[in-house]
Structure 1
Amino acid sequence: MKSIKNFVAVSALALVSFGSFAQSVTATALTLDGAEAKIAAQAQQQGAQYKITEANTNNVVHMTAELYK
């Protein structure tokens, strides 16, 4: 029983700490390179790294990324 309580407590803390460091950002530009440059600038400004999660081209590029530390 004690190990179950410990597992639940550790899981809850892991979720809380992950949620406090992840942030979703978006950018639009005419090219993929331009949109990624905007995402990179946002990440650098916040002292974070980024992972692109979505990019859509429909006359302009719309890109979404997750920032994490």
Structure 2
Amino acid sequence: MKPVKMVIAALALATLSFSVMAATLVDVAPANQQKIGVISACSSSNSLSSLQRELENKAKAAGASAYRIIGASGNNRMCGTAEIYH
């Protein structure tokens, strides 16, 4: 049950939009962009916002203009996966 709550929380977090990001967090695959890969990361804490920052940094390093969190879970550390788009 806990992983389901974490995924729901991650999806809720993924719906937020931040205009200062190099790679924009999106809640659905952008229609005008092509998927260029999948990234994964683990945060140093048990916080979704920390995981989101880790995924954003990896997306930026990969040259993505947008990313979409597709999964998150964890007990002591949060780990997640995101699709990246360009």
Question: Which bracket does the TM-score occupy, shorter chain normalised?
Answer: 0.5 to 0.7
Report the structure, 1 or 2, having the larger strand content. Answer: 1
TM-score (norm 2): 0.52
Q: Distance in 2 between matches of 1:22 and 1:47?
A: 9
Structure 1 counterpart of 2:76, one-letter code: N
- How far 1:22 moved relative to its partner? 2.3
- The residue type equivalent to 2:42 in the other structure is T
- Segments of 5+ residues of structure 2 without an aligned counterpart are 1-33
Unaligned stretches of 5+ in structure 1?
1-17
- Looking at structure 2, the residues matched to 46 and 22 of structure 1 have their Cα atoms a distance apart, in angstroms, of 9
Question: What is the CA-CA distance between 1:47 and the residue it aligns to?
Answer: 2.6
CA distance in 2, matches of 1:68, 1:32: 21
TM-score (structure 1 length as normaliser): 0.63
Aligned to 1:4: none
Residue number among 44, 52, 55 corresponding to 2:69 in the alignment: 52
Greater Rg over alpha carbons, structure? 1
Number of residue pairs the alignment of both structures matches: 50
Deviation at 1:59, TM superposition (A): 1.4
Distance 2:62 2:42 in 1: 19
